[in-house]
Every structure is written in structure tokens, then in C-alpha cells.
Amino acid sequence: MERITEISTRLIQAASKRRFALQNLVDELIGNKDIERDDITSLRKNYRETVQVWNGELQLLMLELSSLSLDNLAMRLEDSVHRQFVLAHQDIKSYLVNQEKIS
């Protein structure tokens, strides 16, 4: 049970960090159309770093869940939480590409 609690805590922390980096970037993009501004560039860099950390942590969490015979939970994690992050990432990427075309 202690190991599951540790995995849950790591999952919550990693997902929260990615969500907050995502939210900070989206909030700034909503208020500013100039995607080349220093503050937006900094937020984009932070977001990319957070995505890399999340992707690495997700793989470790899924392996640990599988080692506890919680394969179904590992798959649900990828299909639900991670899938929503991927969709949000695609939306941001599409928005940025469109903004670059306008500039």
C-alpha cells in the first residue's frame, strides 16, 4: 500500500507541474498575440521542459504500476490523463503555427 501511495503522489506532482506550465502558457498566449515576446518564449521553454519531465515520469509510473500487476490502471493513466495532455499540446502547437503564419 505504501508503494501505491508513493506512486500516486508522484503522479499528482508530475501532472500538476505539467498542468500549471500548460495553464501559464495558455493564459499568456490568450493575452498576447506576439508569440516572440520574451515572456512567452520563456514560458514555452518551461512548458517544453515540463513535458519532457512528464513523459519520463509517466513511463516510470506505468512500469511501476505494471510491476504491481496494475496494468489496467497503467493503461487508463495513459488513455485518460496523458491523452488530455497530448490533445492540449496539439492545440497549442496548432495555435502557434497559425500565429507564425499571420506574423
Distance in angstroms (rounded) separating the CA atoms of residues 56 and 75: 16
Arithmetic mean of pLDDT, 49-73: 96
Instruction: State yes or no: pLDDT of 68 exceeds 70.
Output: yes
66 and 7 Cβ atoms separated by less than 8 Å:
no
66 and 50 Cβ atoms separated by less than 8 Å:
no
In the numeric block, which cell numbers belong to residue 89? 499540446
Helix, strand, coil shares, percent, the chain, to 5: 90, 0, 10
Quick one: pLDDT at residue 74? 94
Instruction: State yes or no: pLDDT of 103 exceeds 70.
Output: no
